[in-house]
Amino acid sequence: MSTLVIVESPTKARTIRNYLPSEYLVEASMGHVRDLPQSAKEIPEAVKAEKWAQLGVNINADFEPLYVIPKDKKKVVSQLKEALKGASELILATDEDREGESISWHLYQLLKPKVPTKRMVFHEITQDAIKKALDNCRNIDEKLVRAQETRRILDRLVGYTLSPLLWKKIARGLSAGRVQSVAVRLLVNKERERRAFRQGSYWDLKAILTPARDKEKPTFTAQLVTLAGTKLATGSDFDPATGKIAAGKKVLLLDEDGAKELQERLGDKTWLVKNVEERPVTRKPAAPFTTSTLQQEANRKLRLSARDTMRTAQNLYEQGYITYMRTDSVHLSEQAIAAARDCVEKLYGKQYLSPKPRKYTTKSKGAQEAHEAIRPAGSSFRTPQETGLSGRELQLYDLIWKRTVACQMADSKQTQITMQLQVEDAGFRSSGKRIDFPGFLRAYVEGSDDPEAALEDKEVILPNLKVGDNPGCKALDAISHETQPPARYTEATLVKTLESEGIGRPSTYASIIGTIIDKGYAQLTNNALVPSFTAFAVTNLLEKHFPDVVDPSFTSKMEQTLDDISTGEAAWLPYLQDFYLGEEGLETLVKEQEDQIDANNAKTIELENLEAKVRIGKYGAYLEKENGEDVVTVSIPQDLTPADLDPEKVEVLLRQKTEGPDKLGIHPELGEAIYAKIGPYGPYVQLGDKTDENPKPKQASLPKGVKLEDATLEMAVGLLSLPRTLGNHPESGATIQANIGRFGPYVVHNSKEKKDYRSLKAGDDVLTVTLERALELLATPKKGRGSSKSKTALKELGSHPDDEEAVNIYDGPYGPYIKHNKTNVSIPEGKSVEDITLEIALELLASKTSTKKSKSKSSKSSSKSKSSSSKSSTKSSKSSGSTTKKSSSKKASLN
């Protein structure tokens, strides 16, 4: 008889098999095997008529959840039951957090084992860790299960109670969430700050100096900081609401005329070193990674989304490369500290070791379990080069390895140098930095959320000048500055804010940010999360009628209560009853507020300084303004953000709708009018009028950064002549063209095999780029859009038997996928790149091809198919669907 071990994924199963005796059978549950119903089809016939069934929680029966087995998990459950028949023992080895504990509990309830059952937990998948875990099995932790279940019920109550309200009052497909709605409000509030921002401008002087009058010596720079003893105004002195110097600031605002007059006056005067100050600074390494800090740093340094970071970390964990990636703890075991210090000594030398082992403690009160920080797995750390990893997995492992090793390295010793200089009545300052001992900076430099911040490992050398010395001035420039609006959230800064406010849990941030983007509440533009007008409408409604739902402090207290439930300090049922059914409970509030919410007002966003109203329609946001007895409406271009919608842009959009597009002139060769217009994707030019004879007149987008009012006839003629043929490729003989696409200007090599594209760089002009420059761009390795990696196959599976063409696996923006010619198919959930063989890939590709063919059948056969499918589905739902009475099953315990 064998021992059946159940884990979540095939990758994890395969890794664990390497460390277990042959009599152990390891199977995967493919994640959760039961959940609340996701659609009406999943609701069992026995309870379909009940009012609470759509909610999936019977609020009148002590909030009993309705658990069902999803259709795609029925086969998995059957296979696990079959495997259990031949086992003498069952070990539930799912992850050691609340979610993993819940999966084990659900497996226990479904499988109803009659053999001894144990719960095995481990923090990393190594020989020693698995052996230790086998020797220290325990029972399922009922408190953790209850905490996860309460959290799941609470999220369902919020989402399924408020979302239908948003459908009725604003638009179908919207959703609300306990943490999601707070996160969306943070984005909206930042955009409101940007709308309220007023730009200020100021000038100063920048000097390029040499240590002596000899202008051939190495130079250094100095900035004007005072004039006649008064501090010069900088960006921090401005009031962002007025664009003026803030009240009470005693500073001198230098304008252009004043700056240039001062530049001329000081040009040939003598410079004097007034003071040189050196200050020693000690920098300590950052703590090892938690889930939150890993997401932040991977976003800053690798430009990975939180979702991609967690997906990649999951793969690394399941393959045995890193410890468990869902943790709030910065603690390192003695084994990990020893391994890190061994790496430091071998790779950098003893002088780079911290004198004593560094031990980090978790300050967060909400830390879930006694996990370690995220670190390389094992009692000795493999260097990134020793792992054999590639792509994102290598990048992320490298980041984790460096951060872990660096935390046991010596402090960085630096000297900050400040030099004060005087020329007549103007005071200048020059700042430098000398790294006396790099310490941990040899291995790792933490990223910054400020793109202008200097990296810690960069020296800024100043010459060895003393008080009284007279440096020479090589150049003195007047520099213009403009204050900048508050920066939008990136994924890194949003994660940081959510964690600091105690909102949600870091392990859920990836899915929350993903949902915000998927639902259209925000779009990711240049790594910034830009909220949509829909996000404004939803936030306005929730703030007005359900303020607690989007209140960070309320949500943070809720999170603390959920943590207290996991430790037994709070009772789950009274909390749910009060939250949902109390006098000010959510159900009560929704019933009271629903009739008071006017759908027309809910869809309307009134922004300050705009005469027109912004409204949410079926096809997106649009402007609406009364024009006499008529009402003028016009769609808002998708790339026009709420912060950038000003009166001038509104006027242009409305004028083009009422008066027609702006006419730039007549095409010199074709004799047709050329118009400048604004469309859903931004400004563009159009050749000729749209008529029955010419239903699709030629159009061309304006280059990025070019405003509609800056478009000229000459520019329009050039854009409408695109694509430009630049010449022929010297090797293939195929044409090379320049053009503008949705993602900007590019050049393309039209070879017989395939079209090879490259984006133009800053400084390149699509209307003037030459063949030589195009060849230079085409010679550079191709990069994937939005990432720094080339399109190299993650895994080459072999040749397709039908045409001998390659079947490979690539890494895409939504995860790894299989590609054969023009057919792409995603890797199924729960499967990893390593699990996919050529045979599996061929089956998936055939299924995708079959699906495509079936879609092209006649509407008649399609209708018959749908009817047949409906009958089959109905029959299936009658025979399946699983519910569990919690009052009795919760009492079950493991032997």
Rounded to the nearest angstrom, the gap between the alpha carbon of residue 515 and the centroid of all alpha carbons in its chain is 11
Indicate the length of the chain as a whole number: 895
Q: What is the DSSP letter of 646?
A: -
Provide the 10 A C-beta neighbour count for residue 568: 12
Provide the 10 A C-beta neighbour count for residue 52: 15
- Contact criterion met (CB below 8 Å) for 636 and 645: yes
Q: What is the phi/psi pair of residue 66, to 5°? A: -95, 105
Q: List, in order, residues 6 or more apart from 462 with CB less than 8 Å away.
A: 220, 417, 419, 430, 432
- In the numeric block, which tokens belong to residue 585? 């409970």
Q: Strand pairing partners for 806?
A: 799
- C-alpha 579/C-alpha 573 separation (Å) is 10
- Contact criterion met (CB below 8 Å) for 163 and 176: yes
Q: Strand pairing partners for 376?
A: 322
Angle between helical axes of 306-318 and 10-17 (0-180°, round to 10): 30
- C-alpha 402/C-alpha 445 separation (Å) is 9
Provide the 10 A C-beta neighbour count for residue 283: 18
- Contact criterion met (CB below 8 Å) for 184 and 516: yes
> At residue 186, what is the residue type?
L
- Contact criterion met (CB below 8 Å) for 160 and 354: no
- Contact criterion met (CB below 8 Å) for 684 and 716: no
- Contact criterion met (CB below 8 Å) for 340 and 376: no
Q: What is the DSSP letter of 369?
A: S
- C-alpha 499/C-alpha 489 separation (Å) is 14
- C-alpha 39/C-alpha 33 separation (Å) is 16
- C-alpha 322/C-alpha 336 separation (Å) is 11
324 is a catalytic site residue: yes
Beta strand 87-92 pairing with 2-7: parallel
Question: Which of 858, 859, 866, 816 has its CA nearest to residue 841?
Answer: 816
Going from the C-alpha of 431 to that of each of 321, 428, 470, 522, the distances in angstroms are 43, 10, 17, 40
Identify the active-site residue in 108, 324, 397, 489: 324
Sheet holding 823-826, edge to edge: 795-799, 806-812, 815-820, 823-826
- In the numeric block, which tokens belong to residue 6? 């159940």
- One DSSP character per residue, 818-835 reads EEETTEEEEPPTT--GGG
- C-alpha 438/C-alpha 457 separation (Å) is 7
> At residue 770, what is the residue type?
T
- C-alpha 181/C-alpha 159 separation (Å) is 10
The owner of tokens 């109550």 is 157
Question: Which of 698, 676, 695 has its CA nearest to residue 687?
Answer: 698
- Contact criterion met (CB below 8 Å) for 472 and 324: no
- C-alpha 643/C-alpha 199 separation (Å) is 13
> Which residues does the annotation mark as catalytic?
324
